[in-house]
Amino acid sequence: MNTEQVRQLGKKLIDSIGSVIMGKNDVVTLTVTAMLAGGHVLLEDVPGTGKTMLAKAIAKSVDADFSRVQFTPDLLPGDITGVSVYDRNTGSFSFHKGPLFTNILLADEINRATPRTQSALLEAMEEKQITADGETRKLDGFFFVIATQNPVETYGTFPLPEAQLDRFMMELTLGYPTAQETKRILSAHLASDRLDDVSPVCSISDIAEAQKVCRSVFVHDCILDYVRRILEATRESDGIALGASTRAGIVLLRAAQSKAALDGRNYVSPEDIKELAVPVLSHRIILRAGERREALSASAAIERITAGVPVPTEKWN
């Protein structure tokens, strides 16, 4: 597989998902970009904007195992990792796998669960393994988490800790559709459930091959320096209490490799970095209290930084 084949694969996925999630092609494209980069996605928005529908559309577009977990305050870590059950006939314990043992996991309303249960996802998302009853068990090679959450102001929610937020490659927001798009959605869903018409357009092996191609996309030294300067700018900004980490820079570069491959290119451009900086970095910084009072969002802070950091250009002799 080459970058042109990755572009064609991405188009099929985006078209398939877009048949259900109408008018949100940018969010769909970013979600596919994260998946091919080997990352995970956090969707934050108010209820009813299509977060769960987007996750289900992705799961149905890929011929892979799918699990859905509805996070609630009484959910325990063992409910998602699995538990050992005593068998009276054999006199021994046997491990019953939880919903984490899948390829695509929808963690619905993740911030309704307690931090203890939220943290059960950390090891699985970062290392593709879980540890239960003192034994470590590997997950399948392809493991993609799509988590949804309501705004923290919603009643009965627990804000995700910074350590878990850092495990998500991107934080995305669907937002409300336009008036014309709303009418299209209402009309389309009256006739039938759009998800029923979605069928797999690729397999796990196709995704694995595409991920290898994405990781081989060329990154010039000037791009590395560009990302370094963006990271340093987040740490030196007066309005940011905690800047982006080195891991954030690595994740940004991997996402840029994936975006370049989806565009059919075998190299990363500065525009890839600028376009992905907000969804990749905004949830990895913490604003100062004064900035929050002035309603400056993390996204606006990242946009201001990328606008101020000089873009690398080709030098002519």
Residue 314: its pLDDT value, please?
A: 66
Contact call for residues 231 and 240 (beta carbons, < 8 A)? no
Listed in sequence order, the residues at least 6 apart from 207 whose beta carbon sits closer than 8 Å to its beta carbon are 35, 36, 62, 64, 142
Contact call for residues 109 and 156 (beta carbons, < 8 A)? no
Residue 312: its pLDDT value, please?
A: 85
For the chain, what is the mean pLDDT?
Answer: 85
User: How far is residue 19's CA from residue 15's CA, in Å, rounded to a whole number?
Assistant: 6
Is the pLDDT at 316 greater than 60? The verdict is no
Residue 34's φ and ψ, nearest 5 degrees, are -65, -40
Contact call for residues 290 and 237 (beta carbons, < 8 A)? no
With cut-offs at 50, 70 and 90, classify the pLDDT of residue 259. very high
**Angle at Cα 254 formed by Cα 252 and Cα 259, nearest 5°?**
90
For residue 301, give the nearest of 272, 161, 309, 172 by alpha carbon.
309
Q: Please give the average per-residue pLDDT across 79-95, as a whole number.
A: 81
Is the pLDDT at 291 greater than 60? The verdict is no
Residue 154: its pLDDT value, please?
A: 65
Q: Give pLDDT tens digits for 34-79.
A: 999 999 999 887 776 677 788 888 888 988 888 889 888 888 888 8
User: How far is residue 184's CA from residue 97's CA, in Å, rounded to a whole number?
Assistant: 41
Is the pLDDT at 292 greater than 60? The verdict is no
User: How far is residue 107's CA from residue 109's CA, in Å, rounded to a whole number?
Assistant: 7
Q: Please give the average per-residue pLDDT across 242-250, as a whole number.
A: 91
For residue 82, give the nearest of 143, 124, 141, 39 by alpha carbon.
124
Q: Please give the average per-residue pLDDT across 99-103, as a whole number.
A: 89
Contact call for residues 119 and 81 (beta carbons, < 8 A)? no
3-state SS of the chain is CCHHHHHHHHHHHHHHHHCCCCCCHHHHHHHHHHHHCCCCEEEECCCCCCHHHHHHHHHHHEECCEEEEECCCCCCHHHHHEEEEEECCCCEEEEEECCCCCCEEEEECHHHCCHHHHCHHHHHHHHCEEEECCEEEECCCCCEEEEEECCCCCCCCCCCCHHHHCCCCEEECCCCCCHHHHHHHHHHHHHCCHHHHCCCCEEHHHHHHHHHHHHCCECCHHHHHHHHHHHHHHHHCCCEEECCCHHHHHHHHHHHHHHHHHCCCCECCHHHHHHHHHHHHHHHCEECHHHHHCCCCHHHHHHHHHHHCCCCCCCCC
Using CA atoms of 174, 178, 183, 185 in order, give the dihedral in degrees to the nearest 10. Answer: -20
Residue 293: its pLDDT value, please?
A: 44
With cut-offs at 50, 70 and 90, classify the pLDDT of residue 288. confident
Residue 95: its pLDDT value, please?
A: 81
Q: State what percent of residues in the chain have pLDDT above 90.
A: 36
Q: Give pLDDT tens digits for 143-190.
A: 999 998 877 666 667 778 777 788 899 999 877 777 887 777 777 767
Min mean pLDDT across 22-26, 194-198, 285-289 is at: 194-198
For residue 144, give the nearest of 31, 5, 30, 259 by alpha carbon.
31
Is the pLDDT at 4 greater than 70? The verdict is yes
